[in-house]
Structure 1
Amino acid sequence: MADRPQTNLETLLVGVDAGCRRVLDPLFETDAVPRLESIFDEGTAGGLRSQIPPWTPSAWPSLYTGVNPGKHGVFGFLTFDGYDWDVVNATHVRERTLWEVLDRNDRTSVVVNAPVTHPPREIDGAIVPGYTAPEEPDCHPAGLLADLRAEMGDYRVYAPRDVSGDEQIEWYRRLTEMRGEAFRYLADRFDPSFGFVQFQQTDTVFHERPGDDEAVRAVYEAVDEQVGAILDQCDPDTVVVASDHGMGEYRGSEFRVNEFLREQGLVETTADGEGMPTWSTIASNQLREGKESRDAADSLSPLGRALAAGAAVGITSQRIRAGLDAVGLADFVAERVPNDVARAAAERVDFAESVAYMRDRIELGVRVNLRGREPDGVVAPGDYERVREDLIAMLSAVETPDGRPAFERVARREEVFSGPYVEAAPDVVTVPREFDEFLSTRVGDGQFGPPSEPYNHKREGVIAMAGAGVDADADLSGAHLFDVAPTVLATLGIPAGDRMDGSALPAVEPVGTRAYPAFDPDAQVATDDGDVEARLADLGYIE
């Protein structure tokens, strides 16, 4: 028998975006992912309850900091300054990551493809940023991206936007292989105590190829191959597999929150100035109605071709007005778009004139246009609580067309979040029933309609642990996203931070907590990357 590889890798964290048993079990049954299955079989596993909101840009920072969004400050893909916005980046994550905790304890880490880690902060080790990073990301240490490309031939954060069919599936495989190969190269170079490799395509495939079981299988087979190669080369003492949320089909309706609020007299709309129209939603609907692949522009209506052209140059809904002018679509739309479509597309929330509105569907809530806080607030501070009470009452009473409650919970933000950044959350948090209802910011076309996306994130993710010091008989029921960071630290014998909201799971020996120095956040920098914004719109994250 060949000698086992000798490395210092004590704990490997494998991040599987959107991983859950409803996806994994059919793959286990057909032996499609034997290395992943062996971790589940040899160790202990269970569901992993995600947070609110259960989406990549907020949930992964919660997983790797161990705190809720009120403490780390990221509630969705977008960050807001008054009524303006930008895509979040690492400077918006205002809490120490588990690899930064390890750095304070003289441990080396290699982190590959973790979302919202660009620009990376310095640690002893290496960081290759993932989702929301630009295609040419800064890595740590400086020059690392060039080193990766020299070693591997290529390294990309995203696939090209114009691929489809079999080529798209091949890109899923290639990106997955890049993550594994990059991790193995860096593990050999830096000899870390801790490693974290995240796979994003396990989520992307559901958004880009809904209902395509063969594409899902291809992605997971590629992930399994890379996990196996990492295990063989690095031989970690302990392996933790975790997801940020689950995935499942929508079975309900699309509820257009701003249209509902407009009919309640709380939202005003405008066709001029800044606002949030719904062009990308209409464009994606046109694309789906015409042909599944993005190279199907010739089969679309003139409207579909026009909107697809807009999307191709990075037009997202918040910047549609300037974008339309840039590609010469304004006159075309005014003359040719049917009245009902034009109404839905041209009208958008007028922030300055509205009492309350949903500004971003991903952050799951309604923002009050509060005087003294918002640039043109209309709600007096003395009326703030009354407005919130009214919003909670009216939204709690909303029923879907089939007579079921639209929301399982409507609550004040401080009842959901805690910490110094609760102010950045929506004032009223709206949790859709079983995440079967699609919440939309669009106005027009009535309060309800068919979901604009066929799949949605679900609260139930997954966690599995195997290896040294793991009690394979431990019961992981009740495991929460916030527990992952303190659990990983416990496998390394490092105390969790006393600000963490989670605690080490019973599968490992607890180490306790420590009061680490207060986190000193970096100055926030802009993302302002049209390509990143366009990719988020492609996936339905930005309407």
Structure 2
Amino acid sequence: MNTLLVGVDAACWPVVERLPDRSAVSTIDRLGNRGVAAPLESAIPPWTASAWPSLYTGTNPGKHGVFGFLRFDGYDWDVVNATDLCARPLWELADRHGLTSVVVNAPVTHPPRSFDGALVPGYTAPEDPECHPPGVLDAVRDHVGDYRLYSEGEVDRESAADDYRAFVRSRGAAFRYLADRFDPEFGFVQFQQTDTVCHEFPGDDDLLGAVYDAVDDEIAAILDACDPDTVILASDHGIGPCEGREFRVNEFLREEGFVETATDGDGMPTWVSIREGRLRGVGNGDEEGGFSGISGVSGALASAMGLAARAGFTTQRAARLVDALGLTEPVSRIVPDDLQRAGTERVDFPASVAYVRDPIELGVRINLVGRDPEGVVDPDEYESVRADLIDALESVRTPDGDPVFEEVAPREAHFHGPEAERAVDVVTVPADFDQSLVAQLYGERFGEPTEPWTHKRTGLVVAAGDAVDAEAGVGDPHLFDVAPTVCAALGIPRSDRMDGRPLPFVEPTDERRYPPREARERVGTEDEGVTETLADLGYVERVQDD
């Protein structure tokens, strides 16, 4: 193997320093000692679905087209997939130069395109995904045993370490099997559990150490089996404790006159289930649900709650009352989901001037005439509305008097390219990523974070091997620089569409204008399990039409 790219989701030096035993990253440390190691600045937004495409295409979301876990078509949405990706990934560039690639677990790669090699997709793919070539997943499962993309239900603390290790080992074993079968010049394997453990068990350093130890062992086994000339290890972003507040952006925008709301089904409801301090329910089919199987009673209650909502008594108000009385847990066991949804106050997207549709996008979308299905802002007023939004958001302070945002800027500050029109219009970057942004309406601007850990802007990069000149240093690396650096290690021209540049420790190759990536018809994700998994991890808010 010429070049191996190892992706370790959410890896960063502050997390490494938390590990109970530094030997859990002994292989990673050895690579850094042989070559270079440095912090790696992520892109905006620094989340898995948009950051990994930025890493493996070298472009900003305005070019590659993935801005978060959700793709919006007007006010409708779907989970993103590879038909949303508009820029060429590394393995397609390698293919154009006669190089074979093996890719395992890379996010937003389903359904795959044809190239010389093999691909088993990662996040946002369904549990039994289409792979390349057809049938390769069956061969992987025959060889390595159980290979799953997602956990089967919630993971409890007692079994978590074994579950995480099994996921990590399956990724490494699948990659080694495919590398042996296809003999690639380029390999890319991604490990997701280093991020997952921080969302599911935030602050559990023992579990964190177990996951990193398993990842480190798999990296060592891959190095031994594949003997790559050059190794580049990179993360998509960092992660760490959320030490600020939860800022409910749409609540603020409602107070400022930008957001309109609805409780009669005209708006798009958003809510998050299984969150501390919130009124939460179980599905009507759940055996623990007090109204399970009693559809008439449940429907009547839902209708009553809908009427109450129109009178101003919404689920959010009920949640605060129930929480104040200390009744959250008993109430959550008997209140079905459809009752909550009927009573949830919603952002009325078509009637609003501007709104947050997905907090992971890190920004506000303006409801523009001619662009959005029921736009209310005339194009002549676009810049003045955007300026008003920027001024309002820049002024927001936490209850302690600290700025909520370190940057509020027009989208052009971070997104440029043919897909930029689909981005938010105003980018909002939380201060130190210590403020948690949510889209729900709860009647108050601020609350305690529902996610105790959150993504951070700085990840890491490590590189060693024949193509790495450690004495040249690493410079000031950015996520966009990884793809052109891999191109340099492979000895192939980078695309002139890339926003990054080869890092100083490699000998740069030339730029080349590659033919445009052929567009293909978008397919829907249509997999409830994917949505549920992303929601359980806090990546998406559950969004559903009535």
With structure 2 as the length reference, what TM-score do the two structures score? 0.89
Residue 509 to residue 352, structure 1, CA distance change in 2 (3 Å): same
Contact 2:18 2:205 in 1 (8 A): no
Matching residue of 2:264: 272
CA distance in 1, matches of 2:298, 2:282: 13
Deviation at 1:311, TM superposition (A): 11
User: Secondary structure at the residue paired with 1:506?
Assistant: coil
Deviation at 1:518, TM superposition (A): 1.5
- Give me the identity figure in percent: 58
Matching residue of 1:284: 275
Q: 1:366-421 CA distances to partner (integer Å, 9 max, x unpaired)?
A: 01111121111111111111110100110011111111111111111112211001
Matching residue of 2:384: 386
Q: 1:237-289 CA distances to partner (integer Å, 9 max, x unpaired)?
A: 111100000011111111111000100111111112254434315x3225xx8
User: Secondary structure at the residue paired with 2:373?
Assistant: coil
User: Secondary structure at the residue paired with 1:466?
Assistant: strand
Q: 1:431-490 CA distances to partner (integer Å, 9 max, x unpaired)?
A: 111111101101123001111100111111000000112112232241000000000110
Residue 214 to residue 276, structure 1, CA distance change in 2 (3 Å): farther
Contact 2:356 2:363 in 1 (8 A): yes
Matching residue of 1:256: 248
**How many residue pairs were aligned?**
507
Which residue of the other structure, out of 473, 476, 479, is the alignment partner of 2:474? 476
Residue 428 to residue 485, structure 1, CA distance change in 2 (3 Å): same
Residue 309 to residue 327, structure 1, CA distance change in 2 (3 Å): farther
CA RMSD of aligned residues (A): 2.2
Contact 1:76 1:363 in 2 (8 A): yes
Aligned runs of 1:33-52 on 2, under 5 Å?
A: 33-52=25-44
Which residue of the other structure, out of 103, 109, 112, is the alignment partner of 1:120? 112
Matching residue of 2:213: 221
User: Secondary structure at the residue paired with 2:522?
Assistant: coil
Deviation at 1:35, TM superposition (A): 1.2
CA distance in 1, matches of 2:425, 2:493: 34
Q: Which residue identity is paired with 1:141?
A: P
The answer on 1:132 being equivalent to 2:124 is: yes
Matching residue of 1:493: 491
Name whichever of 409-418 and 137-146 sits farther off: 409-418
Deviation at 1:161, TM superposition (A): 1.6
CA distance in 2, matches of 1:154, 1:449: 41
Matching residue of 1:506: 504
Which residue of the other structure, out of 404, 407, 410, is the alignment partner of 2:408? 410
Contact 1:159 1:172 in 2 (8 A): no
The answer on 1:451 being equivalent to 2:449 is: yes
Q: 1:103-140 CA distances to partner (integer Å, 9 max, x unpaired)?
A: 00000000000000000111100000000100001110
Which residue of the other structure, out of 516, 519, 533, is the alignment partner of 2:531? 533
Q: 1:475-521 CA distances to partner (integer Å, 9 max, x unpaired)?
A: 22410000000001100111100110001000111112111111222
Q: Which residue identity is paired with 1:285?
A: E
Contact 2:314 2:344 in 1 (8 A): no
Q: Which residue identity is paired with 1:487?
A: T
Residue 500 to residue 363, structure 1, CA distance change in 2 (3 Å): same
User: Secondary structure at the residue paired with 1:255?
Assistant: strand
CA distance in 2, matches of 1:70, 1:310: 41
Matching residue of 1:144: 136
User: Secondary structure at the residue paired with 1:48?
Assistant: strand
Q: 1:58-88 CA distances to partner (integer Å, 9 max, x unpaired)?
A: 0000000000000001100000011000000
Matching residue of 1:396: 394
Matching residue of 2:170: 178
Residue 130 to residue 440, structure 1, CA distance change in 2 (3 Å): same
Contact 1:172 1:219 in 2 (8 A): yes
- Unpaired stretches in structure 1, ≥5 consecutive residues: 1-8, 290-302, 314-323
Residue 82 to residue 338, structure 1, CA distance change in 2 (3 Å): closer
CA distance in 2, matches of 1:261, 1:365: 12
CA distance in 1, matches of 2:243, 2:51: 23
User: Secondary structure at the residue paired with 2:350?
Assistant: helix
The answer on 1:197 being equivalent to 2:189 is: yes
- Unpaired stretches in structure 2, ≥5 consecutive residues: 288-293, 321-339, 542-546
Q: Which residue identity is paired with 2:275?
A: S
CA distance in 1, matches of 2:15, 2:296: 42
Contact 1:311 1:534 in 2 (8 A): no
Q: Which residue identity is paired with 1:395?
A: L
Contact 2:394 2:407 in 1 (8 A): yes
User: Secondary structure at the residue paired with 1:167?
Assistant: helix
Which residue of the other structure, out of 222, 225, 230, is the alignment partner of 1:233? 225
The answer on 1:348 being equivalent to 2:346 is: yes
Matching residue of 2:70: 78
Q: 1:208-245 CA distances to partner (integer Å, 9 max, x unpaired)?
A: 00111111011101101111110111111111100000
Deviation at 1:327, TM superposition (A): 11
Matching residue of 1:67: 59
Matching residue of 1:309: 283
Name whichever of 229-238 and 469-478 sits farther off: 469-478
Q: 1:147-194 CA distances to partner (integer Å, 9 max, x unpaired)?
A: 111112221111112331222221111010000000000000000000
CA distance in 1, matches of 2:519, 2:20: 42
CA distance in 2, matches of 1:417, 1:325: 48
CA distance in 2, matches of 1:542, 1:430: 17
Q: Which residue identity is paired with 1:498?
A: D
CA distance in 1, matches of 2:316, 2:163: 40
Residue 512 to residue 339, structure 1, CA distance change in 2 (3 Å): closer
CA distance in 2, matches of 1:179, 1:453: 27
Residue 352 to residue 144, structure 1, CA distance change in 2 (3 Å): same
User: Secondary structure at the residue paired with 1:426?
Assistant: coil
Q: Which residue identity is paired with 1:355?
A: V
Q: Which residue identity is paired with 1:227?
A: I
User: Secondary structure at the residue paired with 2:318?
Assistant: helix
Contact 1:268 1:349 in 2 (8 A): yes
Deviation at 1:33, TM superposition (A): 2.1
Residue 16 to residue 275, structure 1, CA distance change in 2 (3 Å): farther
Deviation at 1:309, TM superposition (A): 3.0
